[in-house]
Amino acid sequence: MASSITVTDHGLEIHLPGFDRSASISWHWLRDHDESEAGQDPVTKQRRVDTFSLGEVHPGTVCLDDGKATVTWADGAVAMCSRHLLESVAAECLATDWSRRPDVEPSLPVDAVLWPDPSIGPDEIELDAFLDPVSDEALTRGVDLLSRYGYLVLRGAVLDRDRAGAFARRLGYVRHTIFGGMWDLAPDLTDHADTAYTTVYLAPHTDGTYSHDAPGLQFFLCLQAAPQGGESLLVDGFAIAAQLAATDPETFVTLASVPVPGRYIEPGVHLRAERPVFRSTARGVLDQVSFNNYDRAPFLLPPELERRFNRAYRRFAELAADPARRVAVGLTAGDILIFDNWRTLHGRNAFVGPRHYVGAYLNHEDLESKRRVLFGS
């Protein structure tokens, strides 16, 4: 990144290509983000100095070279900030529209590829290659595809339940919930009374609307495919959000602002949480779609807002059920389907005959972590 840095009375100005204004970095920020060994642990990057206890900081001399900015403070301390750090935080700051109301005008993650589009779609990956402990090539490709598309299919030649655990460990770790760690999903199981343990059609939904931190990823390992039906149905929730934001802003704003409660009830358990269908980060980037009409809990809105909400929720349900938006994924024994539960709605075609899947949840943050590690950012 060909940036330039100038020193001002208040700190540093970072000029980045592609932006018509510069980013201001204050003296306090520079001291607070000292990357020298005195300022932070070199491995964990944890801060070693409580900068806020120092009061106002006063610079003595500033030295800029190609790789870093070094500031010697009036009290004799020396702080160092790498150019990489200065440029990356400046780019993030300048790319954020701080006047934007995130619940009204969210942006999509910059690298999200919306679907379905007949001309694009994530490639399938060989499970063997993904699990290869010697090479991260297929893992890297898979993490990239999963992050950008919100789902990924891995084809496996060998039927082996242990591979589900190995698969999870390549990405992070299995998250334990009311369903345990990895759970068996088959119509003859009676562990839970949930609709998932039946043979009927399941409308596209997200899991965990009853959880304050809904599972970020869900995967299914197919141990036995149904002889007829049973395909997984995927719908891109981000694509629905993008369409509504562009063509029906009132519906979008309603779905981004009305908290919708979800619940899960079985003997001894009553889980409940609530959030809007569209949740954005504080920076205004759409982060999560939550929609599960099966698990929606009772709630009451003022009459006018109820009318608006019902219209908006019905509109979302219509789009989610639109066959043109669906990607049907058929698995055979040994295959794995993984999807982003914060983005991709999943459902299922009705089926006949036996069908045995193993399911599990992983954390969204662990996929994000794996991506940073593999891509060095």
Site residues (vs Fe ion, CB under 5 A): 207
In order of 14, 33, 68, the CA distances from 4 in angstroms are: 6, 19, 12
Of the two residues 32 and 207, which places its CB atom closer to Fe ion in the complex?
A: 207
Q: Which is nearer to Fe ion, 207 or 340 (CB)?
A: 207
Nearest to 234 by CA among 368, 116, 110, 112: 116
- Pick between residue 23 and residue 345 the one whose CB is nearest to Fe ion: 345
Structure token pair of residue 302: 């003022």
Query: What is the number of H-type helices and E-type strands within the chain?
Result: 9, 22
Which residue from 157, 150, 153 is spatially nearest to 138, judged by alpha carbons?
153
Beta strand 351-352 with 59-64 is unpaired
How many residues does this entry show for the chain? 377
Closer CB to Fe ion, 34 or 207, in the complex: 207
Task: Return the bridge partners of 265, or none.
Answer: 270
Closest CB 133 distance from Fe ion, rounded Å: 31
Q: How far is the CB of 359 from Fe ion (least distance, A)?
A: 8
Q: Where do we find the tokens 């800029």?
A: 64
Least Cβ distance, residue 346 to Fe ion (angstroms): 6
Give me 133's structure tokens.
């402990």
CB 58 within 8 A of CB 43: no
Q: Smallest Cα–Cα separation from 207: which of 254, 142, 264, 146?
A: 264
- Rounded to a whole number of angstroms, the minimum distance from the CB of residue 256 to Fe ion is 23
Alpha helix positions (H), the chain: 27-32, 83-95, 127-131, 137-149, 162-171, 237-247, 249-257, 303-321, 364-375
CB of 110 to Fe ion, least distance (A): 28
Residue 207 or 335: the one with the smaller Cβ distance to Fe ion is 207
Q: At a CB cut-off of 8 Å and minimum separation 6, what does 1 contact? A: 16, 17, 87, 91
* Min separation Cβ 196 and Fe ion, Å: 5
Q: How far is the CB of 205 from Fe ion (least distance, A)?
A: 6
Specify the residue, 207 or 287, whose C-beta has the smaller distance to Fe ion: 207
Three-class DSSP category at 153: strand
Closest-by-Cβ residue to Fe ion is 207
Residue closer to Fe ion by CB (options 27, 219) is: 219
